[in-house]
Amino acid sequence: MENEKIEIKQASGRPMLTWVGKRPLRYVTVFPAQRIESFKPANDAEKRIGDLWNDWPSAYPKGGLLFHGDNKEVLAHLLANGFRSKVNLIYIDPPFNTGVDYIRKVTPRGMKIEKLEGDGYSFTEQIQYSNNWHIDAYLQFLYERLQLAREMLAEDGIIFIRMDVHFGYYLKMIADEIFGQDNFQNEIVVNRIKKNVTVKGRRTIPNAVDYLYVYFRSLQAEFKNVLRQLPETKPGYWHNMDSPAIPGPRRLTLGGKTYYPSPGAHLKFPQTQAEEMWNKGLIRENPKTGMLEYWVQDKDYVNLDSDWTDIPGYTFKTGYPTENAEKLLERVVQVGSKRGDLVMDFFVGSGTTAALAQRLGRRWIGCDINKGAIQTTSKRLQTIILEQIAAQKRSSRKGELLPGNEKPTPAQLSFAAYRVNDYDLQLQHDEAINLACAHVGITRTKADSFFNGTLGNSLAKIISFNHPLTLMDLDEVRRELEARPEETRDVTVVALGKETAVDAWLDDWNHLRKKGNLPNKINVIELRTDPKYGKFFEHKPAEARVKIHRTARKIIVDIQDFISPTVIERLQRQATIPVPAIDDWRAMVDSVMIDASYDGVVFEVAHSDVPEKKDTLVSGHYELDYPGTETVVAVKITDVLGEEVIVAQKA
């Protein structure tokens, strides 16, 4: 499937929004995916059969799927590999283009790091993604991804798109064009984080809500659960059983006595039902009139409408920025899908959509370009799956659960993580871009979503460090320049490496500019070999000293020491703050995972140590069952900034 192109159907809805550089997708290039991690503690993936898994693409294990990469490339990969028209529910919360960088709070475990007033981003603040785009580029970004989302949806599929007040009306017009105005279902209001904002000396009216724009793929779709539980239930009351409007019995025999309705009326319930209610005390004889009456309990539920402000919209459970509340996603998943359906979120963030899909018995696919998001989601799903396995064991020991206490049976108890078009530096995506800008001397320009800034008199574009510079990347630069006919500056492209065909393309491009006296010459800084900037790769990776040995029955893993130069450097960078001493290497470690039979390619998680509380340290000592034959044991240690190191030894 590598470099294959797949066709994207043209959006044909009306009305249509226009912006500078609007380019409908016609084709997308497909890149391969590499499986990097598996978590399957129940070892039940191959046993899953039935309608849920009959049409599951054979290239993927039957379980949750988590993808690290640009969601445009991930969606293209999924479309080309069997998932076209297979997704029942999509929920996305894309960047709102607010002009504010989104920060993940990170600190060494068990330590408090203070931030002085006026400082830049401190150790505790790690940029997850920048959120300041030129409006035309931002609309193009949304447009392309919603086109791909439409291709993913089943005919009876539903998509929920979260957006704030500033771009909601733009999004509505784009979605009307892509999904069709007839398929628009509602604009739902949800709670947002309320802040009192002061602008130019005056206090503004803060935004209280965000919006969920809901579309059907076609009118074959339908909502599954449209009831909302009331916070309180009012006391019930007794009501006369006479029913003039509804034909029914003219007499009932209850408790050895026969009852009749008022003249011209019927009684509300048939004999069998009335007997059951009588035995339960829900029908009685009125002590004053002698007539039958029944107990009316006010409803615990009401029909759901477009006002969802009865539940939180955001939360801060994992420390990830803009983390959607679990109650919100629980409602979305229950309203938009049924058990066993496939749920997708390609801006997965902290993994709330995947977490609720797992808890509510749905299958799921998650995707994010940010490595921190993938790590957070992976740890969260591991915890949930282990809890579900433990709950199943408890219920089997205790027998059947009491009615009303059942939890949905998980659709799967495993997941696999992949990278698409990967050229990984083992660094966070935006963290690597910031380091490269500082190293090369690029002045960041946050108002431009395509170019990262300027280098001298030229525009600077940093190619994602997940892959080498390709002809496709250069074509993106060309199209962006065509959309800016007034732009006369040259362009400097920064990349880790480049494909062999790139040099010929650049020669032709720059020769044409020189011959025709045209602007926009393109220069490339290739960080792996450039004599001036090659020192970028002096970044020192994390290191670990691990002792692995075996006994007759156990494999013993002892992490004896760990050091993350990145963590140390971040601490020392805060010169105005006394640098705290790290007395225990475990303060630098966010999680430990162990593969007891590592093949050197896919990391199969056999044991994970992920402390729930930030002041709790990993153990560092682990005992696993010995498989009986010589094996390779791999230990993956992830520091608090998301950098990973793997130590593998024979045992």
Whether the predicted pLDDT of 248 surpasses 90: no
Q: Is the pLDDT of residue 358 over 90?
A: yes
pLDDT score recorded for residue 355: 96
Q: How confident is the model at residue 309 (pLDDT cuts 50, 70, 90)?
A: very high
Give the C-alpha separation, 48 to 68, whole Å: 25
**What is the tens place of the pLDDT at every residue in 402-442?**
344 457 889 999 999 998 875 454 455 566 777 788 778 88
User: Which range is least confidently modeled, 293-302, 325-334, 570-579?
Assistant: 570-579
Name which of 614, 642, 643, 637 is nearest 319 in CA terms: 614
Please give the pLDDT value at position 44: 75
**Between β-strands 491-495 and 522-526, what pairing exists: parallel, antiparallel or unpaired?**
parallel
Cα-based distances in Å from 359 to 54, 178, 269, 411: 22, 31, 39, 9
Phi, psi torsion values for 563, nearest 5 degrees? -140, 135
Q: Is the pLDDT of residue 588 over 80?
A: yes
Q: Mean of the pLDDT values across residues 25-33?
A: 83
The mean pLDDT value for 472-483 works out to: 88
The Cα angle at residue 93 between residues 312 and 317, in degrees rounded to 5: 45
pLDDT of residue 614: 75
pLDDT for the residue 515: 77
Q: What contacts 265, CB < 8 A, 6 or more positions away?
A: 242, 243, 244
Q: Could you report the per-residue pLDDT of 37-80, keeping only the tens digit for each? A: 999 998 877 677 777 898 899 889 999 999 998 898 899 999 99
**Beta-bridge mates of residue 238:** 295
Q: What digits encode the pLDDT tens for the residues 95-148?
A: 865 444 444 555 677 666 544 333 344 444 444 445 445 678 788 889 999 999
pLDDT of residue 24: 84
Q: What is the pLDDT of residues 145-195, one digit of tens each?
A: 999 999 999 999 999 999 998 889 999 999 999 999 999 999 999 998 766
**Which stretch of 123-137, 172-186, 223-237, 327-341 has the lowest confidence by average pLDDT?**
123-137
**At a CB cut-off of 8 Å and minimum separation 6, what does 586 contact?**
109, 562, 617, 618, 620
Tens of pLDDT, residue by residue over 538-587, are 557 789 999 999 888 899 999 999 998 877 776 665 544 555 677 889 98
Spatial separation of the C-alpha atoms in residues 551 and 651, rounded to whole Å: 10
Domains, the chain, in order of start with CATH, read: 21-97+133-228+305-420 (3.40.50.150), 237-298 (no CATH), 429-537 (no CATH), 540-650 (2.60.40.10)
Predicted local confidence at residue 2, as pLDDT: 53
Alpha-carbon distance of 390 to 192, in angstroms, equals 35
498 vs 451, higher pLDDT: 451
Question: How large a percentage of the chain has pLDDT more than 70?
Answer: 82
pLDDT at 253 over 50: yes
**Tens digit of pLDDT for each residue in 363-409?**
999 999 888 888 889 999 999 999 999 888 887 665 444 344 457 88
Residue 18 makes CB contacts below 8 A (sequence gap 6+) with: none
- Model confidence, pTM: 0.70
User: How high is the mean pLDDT of the chain?
Assistant: 82
